[in-house]
């Protein structure tokens, strides 16, 4: 009971008052004053026909010949009517069905797109998950992009688009904040450009967009939830909004300018963390297949007049080092943002390593948002390239998207040849974990210190290999891909090679190898070409 109370205390203590207030208000209002779907008569609608420069297409998500939808690596065939409330595969799949991202497919005809929108509008009040604010936000954006692509402006569909903006204004996600509220802001901007005579909509859209961009984009350009996947999603969204604003008259004063500034920062950050093979580091809640590929985002940005440049990472507290064929990505940060850690993992002092353009040491990634043992494991410290003490987590990740007591990381020093940082996640065991990454010609040395020799402390270092890495065991280590030597200064009896599940996407895992190294006080591992 005491442990449970402590967990709730450390989880709730970081929340903003607005999160608590709106959570209570929305629950009470939805129960006792649910309201009606706010559809206007066509003759009451005032709108402008918008246009956009070409934007990137999405992968195949709908196949009209078989009435099949494909999301999260799961296909579903609707033999008769589309069930927009289908919950067979979990809420995230249902959300994707209601986002309407599939309208962005090049191979989707105008007729099929219009038909899908009209199908969704039948019995709109029954679309339970689809009328939640997050899918409403993404659907507003996708519908406006579809309308602009085909210059299709149907009064009935526009009336529903206007109703969507009214519903969203009435339930902005102040109870969640972070990327959800920023997506709400983007959606309102799209709605405001289509409906420029709606003064309230334009005013709230401008105010919310300015405030959330200033808060959520860090000084070095990272999105403050520190998920490279969400960073890509939100950068594409910002580019879409800038595309819309620069091509149409609007009343959103100052928004185009702030978007330009933040896009440049976000693009610089993406260019700086991206590996030579075009992939991002899949740290925190990140995985392939959810965001547009980084190189496509960079190409889209160029079409809109942006050019990314390599920067020194700073406020995100990620670091990237390239030398002699090595690409090293290091996590020296804390759980962020404190009041919304839903996409954070217990992964302090973890790292990702590529060599000669190929992934060697990887973050495991994620395969589910369901609140189950799989997600708990994927957020845990043992699923990252750092150390565990007594099989415990550095920070108390729990409940799918929650974090209780959090560890702190302190950067000790940064130089051309070495990065040193400490984490206090195991101070209850008398351990302060210190890790250094030391660089020299053709070599990376990883040094872990715990400062404890107690028999009650079991220290284990975890390293996860990419599934494609060829691993050959040798005395005191391994040869990777026939060219990279991993030398472990530890007796072989303390080194264990086991299988783990590497996440290639949502609902898609493959078996790969990891090693666990038990040690006392000090562990040195060396990667040498």
Q: How far apart are CA 377 and CA 514, in angstroms?
A: 15
Residue 456: its pLDDT value, please? 74
449's tokens: 């210190």
Q: In the CATH scheme, what is the code of domain 318-528?
A: 2.70.98.70
Q: What is the pLDDT of residue 404?
A: 96
Provide the pLDDT for residue 63: 94
How far apart are alpha carbons 144 and 473 in whole angstroms? 56
The residues facing 70 across adjacent strands are: 75
Give the integer Cα–Cα distance in Å for 89 and 507: 10
Residues of the chain within CATH 2.70.98.70 domain(s) are: 318-528
Find the helix or strand (DSSP H, E) in which 81 lies.
Answer: none
Q: What is the structure's pLDDT at 236?
A: 98
The confidence score (pLDDT) of residue 490 equals 81
The fold for domain 36-303 equals Glycosyltransferase (1.50.10)
> Running along the chain, 529 residues long, what does each successive block of 10 average in pLDDT?
88 95 94 86 84 91 94 95 96 97 94 97 94 98 98 95 97 97 98 97 98 98 98 98 98 97 98 98 97 97 98 97 96 97 98 98 97 97 98 96 97 96 95 96 95 78 98 92 94 89 98 96 95
In the chain, list all ranges with CATH 1.50.10.100. 36-303
* Model pLDDT, residue 495: 93
* Helix (H), strand (E), coil (C) string for 198-262: CHHHHHHHHHHHHHHHHHHECCCCCECCCCHHHHHHHHHHHHHHHHHHHCCCCCCCCHHHHHHHH
How far is it, in rounded angstroms, from Cα 181 to Cα 407? 26
Q: Which pLDDT score is estimated for 251?
A: 96
Distance CA 54, CA 300 (A): 9
Place of tokens 């009343």: 251
pLDDT at 271: 98
């Amino acid at each position: 009971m005491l442990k449970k109370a402590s967990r709730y205390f450390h989880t709730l203590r970081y929340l903003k008052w607005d999160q608590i207030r709106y959570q209570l208000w929305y629950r009470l209002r939805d129960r006792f004053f649910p309201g009606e779907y706010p559809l206007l008569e066509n003759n009451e609608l005032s709108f402008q026909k918008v246009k956009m420069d070409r934007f990137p297409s999405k992968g195949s998500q709908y196949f009209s010949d078989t009435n099949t939808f494909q999301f999260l690596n799961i296909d579903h065939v609707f033999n008769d009517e589309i069930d927009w409330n289908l919950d067979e595969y979990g809420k995230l799949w249902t959300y994707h069905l209601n986002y309407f991202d599939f309208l962005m497919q090049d191979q989707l005809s105008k007729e099929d797109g219009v038909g899908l929108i009209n199908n969704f509008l039948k019995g709109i009040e029954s679309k339970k998950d689809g009328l939640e604010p997050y899918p409403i936000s993404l659907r507003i954006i996708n519908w406006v992009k579809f309308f602009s692509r085909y210059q299709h402006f149907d009064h009935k569909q526009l009336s529903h688009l206007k109703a969507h903006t009214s519903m969203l204004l009435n339930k902005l996600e102040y109870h969640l904040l972070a990327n959800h509220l920023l997506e709400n802001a983007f959606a309102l901007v799209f709605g405001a450009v289509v409906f420029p005579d709606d003064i309230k909509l334009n005013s709230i859209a401008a105010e919310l967009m300015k405030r959330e961009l200033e808060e959520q984009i860090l000084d070095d350009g990272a999105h403050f939830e520190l998920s490279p996947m969400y960073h890509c999603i939100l950068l594409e969204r910002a580019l879409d909004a800038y595309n819309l604003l620069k091509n149409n008259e609007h009343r959103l004063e100052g928004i185009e300018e702030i978007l330009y500034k933040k896009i440049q920062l976000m693009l610089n950050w993406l260019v700086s963390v991206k590996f030579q093979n075009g992939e991002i580091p899949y740290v925190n809640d990140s995985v392939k297949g959810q965001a547009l590929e980084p190189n496509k985002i960079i190409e889209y940005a160029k079409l809109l007049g942006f050019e990314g440049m390599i920067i020194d990472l700073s406020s995100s507290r990620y670091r990237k080092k390239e030398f002699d064929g090595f690409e090293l990505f290091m996590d020296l940060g804390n759980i962020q943002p404190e009041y919304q850690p839903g996409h954070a993992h217990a992964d302090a002092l973890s790292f990702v390593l590529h060599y000669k353009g190929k992934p060697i040491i990887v973050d495991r990634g994620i395969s589910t948002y369901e609140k189950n043992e799989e997600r708990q494991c994927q957020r845990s410290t043992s699923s990252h390239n750092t150390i565990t003490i007594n099989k415990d987590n550095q920070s108390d990740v729990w409940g799918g998207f929650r974090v209780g007591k959090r560890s702190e990381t302190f950067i000790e020093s940064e130089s051309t040849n070495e990065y040193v940082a400490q984490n206090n996640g195991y101070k209850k065991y008398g351990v302060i974990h210190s890790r250094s990454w030391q660089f020299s010609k053709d070599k990376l040395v990883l040094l872990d210190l715990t400062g404890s020799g107690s028999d009650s402390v079991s220290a284990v270092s975890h390293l996860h290999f990419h599934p494609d890495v060829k691993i050959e065991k040798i005395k005191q280590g391994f040869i990777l891909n026939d060219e990279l030597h991993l030398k472990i200064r530890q007796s072989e009896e303390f080194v264990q090679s086991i299988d783990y599940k590497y996440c290639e996407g949502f609902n898609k895992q493959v078996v790969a190898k990891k090693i666990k190294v038990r040690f006392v006080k000090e562990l040195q591992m060396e990667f040498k070409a």
